[in-house]
A and B are shown apart, each in its own frame.
Chain A
Amino acid sequence: MANVVGTPLKRKEDPRLLTGNGRFSDDIQLPGMLHAAILRSPHAHAHIKKINAEAALKLPQVVAVYTGKDLEGKIGPIPSSWLVPDCNLKEAPQYPLAIDRVRYVGDGVALVIAEDRYAVRDALDLIDVEYEALPAAVRQKEAMQEGAPLVHDDIEHNIALHWKAGEIADEVLESAEVVVRESFYVQRVFPSPIETRAAIGEYNPGSGELTLWCTSQNPHIHRMVLSGVLGISEAKLRVIAPDMGGGFGGKIGVYPDEALIGYAARDLGRPVKWIEQRSEHFTASNAGRDEVIDVELYGQRDGALTAIRVKNTANLGAYLSTMGPGVATIDFGLMITGAYDIPHASCETFGVYTNTTPTDAYRGAGKPEATYQIERIIDLYAREIGMDPVELRRKNFAPKEAFPYTNAQGLIYDSGDYEKPLQKALEIVNYEQLRQEQEEMRKQGKLIGVGISTYVELCGFGPSKVAGAIGFQGGVWENSTVRVHPSGKVTVYSGTSPHGQGHATTFGQIVADKLGIPMDDIELVFSDTRAISMSWGTYGSRSTPVGGAAVAIAADRVVEKAKKIAAHELEAAADDIIFESGIFQVKGVPGQQRTFQEIAKAANMAWNLPEGMEPSLEAQSFFDPENFVYPFGTHIVVVEVDKETGEIQMKRYVCVDDVGRVINPLTAEGQVHGGIAQGVGQALWEGAVYSSEGQLLSGTLMDYTLPKARFFPPIESSFTETPSPVNPLGAKGVGETGTTASIPAVMNAVMDALKPYGVKDIDMPLTPEKVWRVIQEGEGN
């Protein structure tokens, strides 16, 4: 088999998952297993005066109740893993259970362990906690004001960090003919994977080994952090991520909950299982976004953009989450110029503590926000100078010749040709005609809008020295081992941790091509710290460009060694061996050949290897990319707004993405679809609503609208391919592009539809009522 890379193979994972043969956390049943539940604070901010668990402990099936005080000195605080430098970062310790003060609705107060799920749930109701409620700081800008309630007494104005990047000289700003200003709110949303979080701990008192199955996108990060929190050697802590129903960033974080379950399993000497409830998920799992972005775009009347100045005030919640500090700073602030060659840029970010659930990376993490503000403001700029938004974008694109292109904030974009997907998308929607139709419809009183977003995003973090420089408490390289068995069947180990993306298929395709063997001969192993060398997991669209690249390199190494063995057997020089479609052949001597399977056997038997060669056929690689990758593309959305109700209907959704080399067009398109669904979800439906006391009002799926398939028109997705030079696959990330691109595309479309009313911005989500009110006002009702 060869040339399967680039073909739309169906996912290898699906038959197993669709026939109910997946193994998710809740499928795991261990002998003697106990069940855990966590009592969570109903207050956003309160002193804990007293906890009385007597009644709960009297239930015959209840085994233990732990409070924050019980655990003091036994489990350490949960640290953040992104300590952004030079921003006066103030990290407040987050203990696995609150000790004397709760700081958000959902903050853990007690851990209950019982023989079964029912008893543990009953016990929660029997624990009596006496609280003294305190005023809460809920919204970031208010929380920074003098006199606002302090989330942590010693952190003034609740400011967790104050970060700046870039400076713009006064002359630059003064010489601009046009300034367009707007304040955007990228509201808080919930990642809402279809499977909530879970953890199962099992302690072996003989070996002293603790095994933790948990819903983690990055088991090695969990192991690294939890070994510190629990005081256990990394060599004795095994973290396994079973099958997972999505993550979207919400399962990157190391949460108090996993630490508690690991602790309880060790303390009680029995396995303990905890499954997060759906309603619990809304307050106990990290949320995404929640950034107020004030932006000013400067330039000339002819459309030449000269500078962008941005202030981001980010709600970090009550504690710093695992990735939280990096999202509104590094991820956001260095990408504010987007795809445009704007020579001057500056970003100032305040990260603010509030009495809300912590925020963390969520699909795109900072890049959707950066893209949102630039793609929205550029539309407003076009409107201001009376230019078509496509033309203004074109005029300011970082030109193809400039790649690798250094943006105003110093990032080097690896490769790009922004005109290409734009042109293709314009052709697909038939832009000129669309604009004419829009005019005609407007005359008939219909509100049609066309929205464009020409995005670029950064992903596939690397190299590790950059990660270190930006305060990330980890590396960003990846690891893979390709192990060839005597039969020629292959096991591939990868440090990425798929949870719906389909790596077994795409990585399998990479290996199938490299080794010339059928897909069915390749098994992939992920997500187990005992099986897999140190690595960093799946997030930030890094898995293919970094993890897939590591797989490719390891496979190349296998071929290299196999060639030497083949040369030895065929009595030729290794350089004279050609390897194609699984056959080693001596150049120019047809018939003189060995199959991959024959060499696999020879290598493993080691009866006749070249002098000095070690037995077996296996190679490992550790790949640290030289740079990030920067996928880009154009999304165009056509909407119709119902004048009488404000309802928005998407008529068309066209996207042309350039994610470098596409390994599997089918799974890539799947990623694009899912990404778009979540981005449009943010634009139109999703949004956390807190009361001024910090109560979450949108805490069920009856109130919080997740996107549904029937809300969407068919997504017209296609790709252009501009390979990345920074990895051997030429691949870029694809997991987050849809989210990044779609939020502003949809918003721009609706704003375009509402243009007759002069409206420039409406806070997301664009509920029909908000839109209706704007129309009512515009119509003078």
Chain B
Amino acid sequence: MIPVKFDYVHAATVDQAIKLMQDSDGTGKVIAGGHSLLPLMKFRLTEPDVLIDISRIDQLKEVKVEGERLIVGALVTHHDASKHPLIQAHVPLLADTASQIGDLQIRNRGTIGGNLAHADPAADLPAAAFALDAEIIIQGEDGEERMSVDSFIIGPLITMLPENSLVTGVSFSIPPSHAKSVYLKYFHPASGYPVVGVAAMAGTDKAGAIDYIKVALTGVGDVAFRAESVEQTLLGQKPSEKMIREAARLAAEEGEMGSDLFASAEYRENLCKVYTERALRSILL
């Protein structure tokens, strides 16, 4: 488990990081928590010439409210995300999801920005990001831009991150205060990554009808997805066991099921339905 030889530099600012990337001419890689990058390097699946360490750029560790949205700095660790008062108060789904990533050591090192930039199809965070209509905040050679998470993550380990740019933060929409949320995860017994992870938020109006609902799934295929059919079926309805069960049947509709040694596509599809049903029951009944 020894990577090929590489250089290491650390960037004090975002601008400096971008400059260092430009200098490396495509052979450098940004390292944040290192918990996805280093395993790949040790397997020699990726062989950067230089690691540009951004982990000490304090500006990327901030969490703040901006109108209807919560901005979480790219370097906020999973552990901090799970404990941060602003996150717990405004987007508890993110806190819940982050608290179920890996184990304590991983949560102490892994970062929100790194998790999304890495675009691992088996990662937990994309579910919350999709459900919370996240926008990825990117700083590049030509300044800042924002990209919705579904246009940012386009395939397994593939993103639309432009060359020589950095994810500086993620902006999450703050759900209405009456919405409840849950992240329900089926842990892969070996890796601890989700075989399926369901991020669900929902709330009902005074009459008891569902007036807010977001459901997103991760882990099952190449990319996370929003279960729009489920959302549409339930929106405006009064929740009942039967209603939820029927809606949850559609949980795999928008996704493509992957298959591996542990779980076939057919079984994953079943898990999508069962876990979506259970997630929705827990917040709606």
Q: A644-B274, A645-B270, A769-B267 are in contact. Are A703 and B4 (CB under 8 A)?
A: no
Interface of B is mostly: loop
Question: Taking the nearest CB of chain A, how far is it from the CB of B185, in angstroms?
Answer: 13
Q: Mark A697-710, 1 if CB is under 8 A from B, else 0.
A: 11001111110100
- A645 in contact with B186 (CB, 8 Å): yes
Question: Taking the nearest CB of chain B, how far is it from the CB of A704, in angstroms?
Answer: 6
Complex Cα distance, B267 from A773, in Å, reads: 8
B4, B264, B274: the one within 8 Å of A769 (CB): B264
Which residues of B (237-285) have their CB < 8 Å from a CB of A? 260-264, 267, 270-271, 274
Q: A644-B274, A705-B190 are in contact. Are A121 and B2 (CB under 8 A)?
A: yes
A121, A277, A697, A769: the one within 8 Å of B263 (CB): A769
Q: Which residues of A contact B44 (CB under 8 A)?
A: 125
Interface check A117, CB cutoff 8 A: yes
- A277 in contact with B1 (CB, 8 Å): yes
Complex Cα distance, B4 from A711, in Å, reads: 37
Q: Which residues of A contact B4 (CB under 8 A)?
A: 122
- B190 in contact with A706 (CB, 8 Å): yes
Complex Cα distance, B1 from A118, in Å, reads: 10
- A704 in contact with B190 (CB, 8 Å): yes
Q: Mark A439-477, 1 if CB is under 8 A from B, else 0.
A: 000000000000000000000000000000000000000
Interface check A584, CB cutoff 8 A: no
Interface check A279, CB cutoff 8 A: yes
What residue of chain B has the Cβ atom nearest to residue A37's Cβ?
A: B2
Interface check A33, CB cutoff 8 A: no
- A711 in contact with B262 (CB, 8 Å): no
What residue of chain B has the Cβ atom nearest to residue A647's Cβ?
A: B186
Interface check A685, CB cutoff 8 A: yes
Q: Which residues of A contact B264 (CB under 8 A)?
A: 769
Question: Taking the nearest CB of chain A, how far is it from the CB of B43, in angstroms?
Answer: 8
Interface check B189, CB cutoff 8 A: yes
Complex Cα distance, B253 from A177, in Å, reads: 54
- A645 in contact with B261 (CB, 8 Å): no
What residue of chain B has the Cβ atom nearest to residue A776's Cβ?
A: B270
- Chain B CB within 10 Å, residue with most, of A697, A702, A711: A702
Interface check B105, CB cutoff 8 A: no
- A705 in contact with B274 (CB, 8 Å): no
Q: Mark B166-199, 1 if CB is under 8 A from A, else 0.
A: 0000000000000000000010011101000000
Question: Taking the nearest CB of chain B, how far is it from the CB of A63, in angstroms?
Answer: 17
Complex Cα distance, B190 from A321, in Å, reads: 28
Interface check A689, CB cutoff 8 A: yes
Q: Which residues of B contact A644 (CB under 8 A)?
A: 270, 274
Interface check B206, CB cutoff 8 A: no
Q: Which residues of A contact B5 (CB under 8 A)?
A: 118, 122
Q: A701-B190, A711-B189 are in contact. Are A278 and B1 (CB under 8 A)?
A: yes
Complex Cα distance, B270 from A706, in Å, reads: 25
Interface check A772, CB cutoff 8 A: yes
Question: Taking the nearest CB of chain B, how far is it from the CB of A692, in angstroms?
Answer: 15
Q: Which residues of B contact A720 (CB under 8 A)?
A: none
Question: Taking the nearest CB of chain A, how far is it from the CB of B188, in angstroms?
Answer: 8
- B274 in contact with A703 (CB, 8 Å): no
Q: Which residues of A contact B186 (CB under 8 A)?
A: 645
Q: A278-B1, A279-B1, A645-B274 are in contact. Are A703 and B261 (CB under 8 A)?
A: yes
Q: A117-B2, A118-B5, A685-B189 are in contact. Are A703 and B262 (CB under 8 A)?
A: yes
Which residues of A (57-94) have their CB < 8 Å from a CB of B? none
Complex Cα distance, B260 from A698, in Å, reads: 11
Q: A702-B191, A703-B190, A767-B262 are in contact. Are A772 and B270 (CB under 8 A)?
A: yes
- Chain A CB within 10 Å, residue with most, of B191, B261, B263: B261
- Chain A CB within 10 Å, residue with most, of B186, B190, B262, B263: B190
Q: Which residues of A contact B270 (CB under 8 A)?
A: 644-645, 772
Complex Cα distance, B220 from A548, in Å, reads: 53
Complex Cα distance, B191 from A704, in Å, reads: 9
- Chain B CB within 10 Å, residue with most, of A125, A704, A705: A705
Complex Cα distance, B189 from A706, in Å, reads: 8
- B190 in contact with A702 (CB, 8 Å): yes
What residue of chain B has the Cβ atom nearest to residue A645's Cβ?
A: B274
Q: Which residues of B contact A645 (CB under 8 A)?
A: 186, 270-271, 274
Q: Which residues of A contact B274 (CB under 8 A)?
A: 644-645
7 intermolecular pairs with C-beta atoms under 8 Å apart: A122-B4, A697-B261, A703-B191, A703-B262, A704-B190, A768-B267, A769-B262
- Give B contacts to A, CB under 8 Å: 1-2, 4-5, 43-44, 186, 189-191, 193, 260-264, 267, 270-271, 274
Sample of 8 more A-B contacts, CB < 8 Å, known A117-B2, A767-B262, A769-B264 = A118-B2, A122-B5, A644-B274, A645-B186, A685-B190, A702-B190, A702-B193, A769-B263
6 residue pairs, one from A and one from B, having the closest CB atoms? A705-B190, A121-B2, A769-B267, A705-B189, A702-B191, A644-B274
